[in-house]
Structure 1
Amino acid sequence: MIEELRERRLLSVVRNDSGLIGYRFAGALHEAFETLDTALVEVVGANTTATPHSCPTLIDREALSSIGFFEKLPCIPMAAVPHGGPPSTGSDGWLLSPSTCYHTFAHLAGSADLPDLGVFTARGTCHRFEPASAEPTRLASFTMRELVLIGGADEVLRQCEVMFERGVAFLRELAADVTVERASDVFYGERSEVTRKVQLARGVKKEVRIPWTDGAEVSVGSRNLHRDLFTTAFAIGSPDRGTSHSACVAFGIERLLLTLLAQTPGYDPDLLTSRILAAVATRTALIG
């Protein structure tokens, strides 16, 4: 499929000897990309007042150090040198951002005047060194749309589950054999088999998967319960209300777009755009 889309000038491939870096979408495929991202916010965030914000490409190393990123996550961060300064490996260094929601928490750092349930959304370009040259949906540079919730533990859990289920229902309008599975993430616990089993049992992370052209399933989105990891690290929330928790619903836009496109006859981006708009109309009418 990728080669056919390249020949039709709907995408170009960016890669090096280590693996796939990303894709450039053009024309009707880019239109489908933008339509899909807008649809996710409209459907998943329905009946909420989600505050949007932008994300720079860079994030300071200290922000990631405060949440134990370097000890817990397996991907290798990509360093950057803004303004031509010397490279640094200390706490004042800068990195290409590996996830969108880190900017949400950095933006809200020290905030005590949040509503009982705050909802925020952003789209950012994420960068991760996870070379896998044979996987056309595993990119070093990709777009992530996130909706982040902050508030009391029970309300965050309830609303995050509602939003994730909306996203799953929306994708089931667009693709066959959409599945949801519990998953584990070392970021929300120590790197051990015991913690992994606990995470799976508690449903800390759920992934929504769609079959790819070779029959393998691709994880295109997730629901993640952070507990108080980020809110404590970034001093978010008022002590008068008790400990704030956070959670997020996230989608990798490139891999979601390509898996959905693979289920259209002839890999037709115009048809996919029409299907997305129809699915939005159906789901928003049901949500009310």
Structure 2
Amino acid sequence: MFALQDLQARRLLSVVASGNGLIGYRFCDTLHQAYEALDQALINTMSRHISATAHSCTTLIERQALEKIGFFNKLPCIPMTASPHACSDHSEKEHEGDWILSPSTCYHTFTHLAGSTERWDLKCFTALGHCHRYEPVLEEPTRLASFTMREFVLLGQQSQVEHMCQVLFDSGVALIRRLVPSTFVKRASDVFYGESAQVTRKVQLALGVKLEAVIPWRQRQVSVGSRNLHRDLFTQAFKIGPQAPEPAMHSACVAFGMERLLLSLLAQIGDPDRLLAHLHEVLGAPPAGQQAKEFEHAALV
């Protein structure tokens, strides 16, 4: 079992912390190599099923982009606003032109595609985004206010989107289980919706629109990835694809919190050097039978 203090003493990790429990991590040397190896393994795994168009993200996103999906009604206390030190040019109209520290990677995909009239049966985009959420919890090393998320976003015809989303999620879970066999999947709702959105969370659980990949860690369970079915929420809000009376395209995503995933693996394996060696050993290539099974599953689309 590793200790954060030991990693800090070895200058493999440092913590960015605030007084109210908000934290983020920096990784260095062997630990950063393991972080990059994990990200590449996820990309390689998903690419066996579908070709993904890569794009970059900014740290900031326009407030208006999140207002389109009713973000602030569902998550009233979570967003963190970014404002300049000198605010003399700030608009008098409330919130006009405000920037938010981006809470999720997929919002950049949807804002990039906003207004596109092209229709796809199935298309995939991927990005590694810096995300920020106000979820202060003291003495909780996996509840991060600043973290990176590798996300795969699918758009297209509903049945194809939902099927491929499950294929990608299953493939990601299988990859993680090769490293931590005790990894399991459960139905979930978004914790960051807050206590005031109990109805939203109940609907998510009932419909099974969100699944999480969970790794046991000490006396807790850590969610390291998720599968999310958006239906036509984002394609309608951002006007992606042909509009009514034609049927709307649907979207879905598979996302992994990279810091949580790395630290959860480290909690199971121990020393960062052993973790990196184990990653290279296990992630070099999937067993032939598993790879054939994954291709067979993907071919059903």
Identify which range, 63-72 or 114-123, moves more after superposition.
114-123
Q: Is the contact between residue 110 and residue 238 of structure 2 (CA under 8 Å) also seen in structure 1? A: yes
- How has the CA–CA distance of structure 1 residues 259 and 133 changed in structure 2, closer, same or farther, with 3 Å as cutoff? same
Tell me, in whole angstroms, the C-alpha distance in 2 between the residues paired with 1:252 and 1:218. Answer: 10
Deviation sequence 1:147-197 (CA, Å, 0-9, x none): 000011111110000000000100000013111110123899x96545533
Could you tell me which residue of structure 1 aligns to residue 11 of structure 2? 9
User: 2: distance between equivalents of 1:125 and 1:20?
Assistant: 15
Whether 1:229 and 2:233 are equivalent positions in the alignment is yes
Distance 1:227 1:123, change over 3 A: same
Cα deviation, residue 84, structure 1: 5.0
Alignment of 1:98-117 (within 5 A): 98-117=103-122
User: Displacement, 1:42?
Assistant: 1.2
The corresponding residue for 1:245 is 250
Assess if the C-alpha contact under 8 Å between 2:74 and 2:197 holds in 1.
no
Letter paired with 1:220 = V
SS in 2 for 1:173: helix
Aligned counterpart in structure 2 of residue 34 of structure 1, from 19, 27, 36: 36
Identify the residue that residue 69 of structure 1 maps to in structure 2. Answer: 71
Counterpart selection for 1:145 from 121, 146, 150: 150
Aligned to 2:216: 211
Segment drifting more, 127-136 vs 83-92: 83-92
The correspondence for 1:185, drawn from 167, 190, 211, is 190
TM-score (norm 1): 0.91
2: CA distance between counterparts of 1:32 and 1:4? 17
Match of 1:43 among 42, 45, 68: 45
1:131 aligns with 2:136: yes
Shift in Å at residue 80 of structure 1?
1.2
Change (3 A) 1:87 1:23: farther
Contact 2:24 2:145 in 1 (8 A): yes
User: Which residue is equivalent to 1:272?
Assistant: 275
Is 1:78–1:128's contact at 8 Å kept on the other side of the alignment?
yes
What is the deviation of 1:284?
Answer: 7.5
Structure 1 residue 139 displacement after superposition? 1.0
2:264 alignment counterpart: 259
Q: Percent identity?
A: 58
Instruction: Specify the alignment match of 1:168 in structure 2.
Output: 173
2:102 aligned residue: 97
SS of 1:30 mapped into structure 2: helix
Shift of 1:87: 4.9
How far apart are residue 215 of structure 1 and its match?
A: 2.6
Tell me the distance in 2 between the aligned counterparts of 1:186 and 1:73: 10
* DSSP-derived class of the 2:61 partner: strand
Q: Which structure 2 residue ranges, 5 or more long, are not aligned?
A: 296-301
The verdict on how the C-alpha distance between 1:84 and 1:284 changes in structure 2, with shifts beyond 3 A counting, is: farther
Q: Note if contact 1:72-1:186 (Cα within 8 Å) is conserved in structure 2.
A: no
Instruction: Report the aligned-residue RMSD.
Output: 2.2
